[in-house]
Structure 1
Amino acid sequence: MESHPSDGPVEIVLGIPGHWPEPDAIGQAILSQSERLFFAGSMLIDSGTDSTLQLDVADHDPQLQRAFELSASTPHDPQLLKAIGSHTYALYLIGAGGSLDAAQNMMSTAIELLDAGGLAVKVESSGLSHSAERWRELAERRGVLALLESYVTLVRSEEQFYTCGMHNLGVRDLAIPGHLSPEQAAIALQGFSQYLLLQNPSLSDGDTFSPGPQFPTYRLVAEPCTLYPEGDLLYNPFGWWRLLPA
């Protein structure tokens, strides 16, 4: 896997709701279900990935069901949404991101928390949620394409189509003009995101990219991230690539 620095400013935050009867039961469930996790206070030690992470416990959030519904990678089963709506606590796993390896390690740790009673996973640092089954499937697949599906979402505004969450993987987010068709935008953004992560190219302002010989060519413009303020979970410190029709 590509090795971008993982000790920089990027944090991955994963939200995992569940039906634990009391806070003490969370630690007990983790210890009983996982051979590699140790939970003490707000710290979670994962011997499987040799990492120390922060694990915050939040009380019931009446807005969480709706948040999962709106952020679903694919529509969630109504029974899952109902279960999320009646959750007692939500765990927030916080760890270093900014590389493919770091993102994969966070996926692995989150599975241990699903085993301990978690219902689903919401990537708070991109606004994308997955059922437990989907998260396990993506984690088992490994690789760049699975990480993109896990951590990155495509968003449409009036002015542009853009990705959100590429900073979790250590690269710039992408934007393309909104006057293009959704199909054109998706092909360009998905193709370029895969190119960035699979090839790790050296790129500069004015370089060009095309998803293939039958598709348009785009000129690349490097920009800072201005859509979200610095410190926001969605802020990308690496910046953006803006793709403009050449």
Structure 2
Amino acid sequence: MEAPATTGNPVEIVLGVPGPWPDTDQIGRAIIGSSERLFFAGAVLIDTQSDLIVELEVVEHDPDLRRAFELSANGHHSEALLEAIDAHTFTLYLVGPGGSVDAAQKMMDVAGEICKAGGLAVKVESSGLSHSAEGWRELIGKKGMLALFEGYVTLVRGDDLFYSCGMHNLGARDASVPGSLPPDEAAVALQGFAQYLLLEDPKLESGGTFSPGPEYPTYRLEAEPCTVFAEGDLLFNPFGWWRLTPV
């Protein structure tokens, strides 16, 4: 899905929720019938609990959606879920403000309500990560910073680096480490650093250092703009990146 037109907020969270609804009228009925907090108004959803207004785009069956969920799975999706996604009739794309923990939680809650209305799974288009409806609801139940991290942030292996993707949804910089690191070491560094940013909100500067633990390497920090994705791309992080280089 292409990046939506800007609403003045530097970060838009876009969540795609496929489902088996027979027609567009049934989508509205399913939402109204299953959710006590969502007000369905055609092109928008209003969360009466948080006062969040979410743009709603309804897209008909996409034959490539199963593959998109396979490639973006947080772990892996069951064959039964993938078959259900392959047979979906519509996908509801929820577009709302991101760029903060509070905004990300509100969007997560709205997508959870759509899952209650028949949604099969959730794909975070603004990070490239997908979850089953059950997994998404479990994250909502956990709440807290780590649940949001698990819901919105993925780790990617590029040509010459490993990097996190999706931290902008939560209002933070992403991070990268050299691609020459062993994958498990890279994952420990990126996950540890990202969670440190979210849980501690430290005041960091270029030239500072970070280590995920005494048994792991120390990394030198360098603040950089996001250059892996172009501005306007849903994956672009306007807050920038931290480049972590082993000392």
TM-score w.r.t. length of structure 2: 0.95
Q: Which residue number corresponds to residue 243 of structure 2?
A: 242
Once residues 236 and 114 of structure 1 are traced to their aligned partners in structure 2, the CA distance between those partners, rounded to angstroms, is: 27
Once residues 85 and 8 of structure 1 are traced to their aligned partners in structure 2, the CA distance between those partners, rounded to angstroms, is: 33
Q: Which residue number corresponds to residue 4 of structure 1?
A: none
* Residue 32 of structure 1, CA deviation: 1.1
SS in 1 for 2:96: strand
Once residues 132 and 189 of structure 1 are traced to their aligned partners in structure 2, the CA distance between those partners, rounded to angstroms, is: 26
Q: Which residue number corresponds to residue 121 of structure 1?
A: 122
Identify which range, 162-171 or 37-46, moves more after superposition: 37-46
Partner amino acid, structure 1, of 2:184: E
Once residues 41 and 22 of structure 1 are traced to their aligned partners in structure 2, the CA distance between those partners, rounded to angstroms, is: 13
Q: Which residue number corresponds to residue 4 of structure 2?
A: none
SS in 2 for 1:238: coil
Q: Which runs of 5+ in 2 are unaligned?
A: 1-7
Once residues 32 and 183 of structure 1 are traced to their aligned partners in structure 2, the CA distance between those partners, rounded to angstroms, is: 45
Q: Which residue number corresponds to residue 46 of structure 1?
A: 47
* Residue 41 of structure 1, CA deviation: 2.3
* Residue 49 of structure 1, CA deviation: 1.6
SS in 2 for 1:30: helix
Once residues 194 and 84 of structure 1 are traced to their aligned partners in structure 2, the CA distance between those partners, rounded to angstroms, is: 31
Task: Say if 2:38 is the partner of 1:12.
Answer: no
* Residue 10 of structure 1, CA deviation: 0.5
Q: Which runs of 5+ in 1 are unaligned?
A: 1-6
Identical amino acids, percent of aligned pairs: 65
Once residues 9 and 91 of structure 2 are traced to their aligned partners in structure 1, the CA distance between those partners, rounded to angstroms, is: 26
Q: Which residue number corresponds to residue 170 of structure 1?
A: 171
Q: Which residue number corresponds to residue 150 of structure 1?
A: 151
Q: Which residue number corresponds to residue 208 of structure 2?
A: 207
* Residue 183 of structure 1, CA deviation: 1.2
Encode CA deviations 1:87-127: one digit per residue, 9 max, x unaligned.
00000011111111111111111111011111000000000
Q: Which residue number corresponds to residue 37 of structure 1?
A: 38
Task: Say if 2:101 is the partner of 1:100.
Answer: yes
Q: CA RMSD in A?
A: 0.9
Once residues 198 and 97 of structure 1 are traced to their aligned partners in structure 2, the CA distance between those partners, rounded to angstroms, is: 18
Once residues 88 and 191 of structure 2 are traced to their aligned partners in structure 1, the CA distance between those partners, rounded to angstroms, is: 34
Once residues 161 and 16 of structure 1 are traced to their aligned partners in structure 2, the CA distance between those partners, rounded to angstroms, is: 28
Once residues 207 and 168 of structure 2 are traced to their aligned partners in structure 1, the CA distance between those partners, rounded to angstroms, is: 22
Question: Which portions of structure 1, spanning 4 or more consecutive aligned residues, are displaced by more than 2 angstroms?
Answer: none
* Residue 8 of structure 1, CA deviation: 3.2
SS in 2 for 1:14: strand
Once residues 161 and 31 of structure 2 are traced to their aligned partners in structure 1, the CA distance between those partners, rounded to angstroms, is: 43
Partner amino acid, structure 1, of 2:23: E
SS in 1 for 2:122: strand
* Residue 28 of structure 1, CA deviation: 1.2
Once residues 65 and 48 of structure 1 are traced to their aligned partners in structure 2, the CA distance between those partners, rounded to angstroms, is: 33
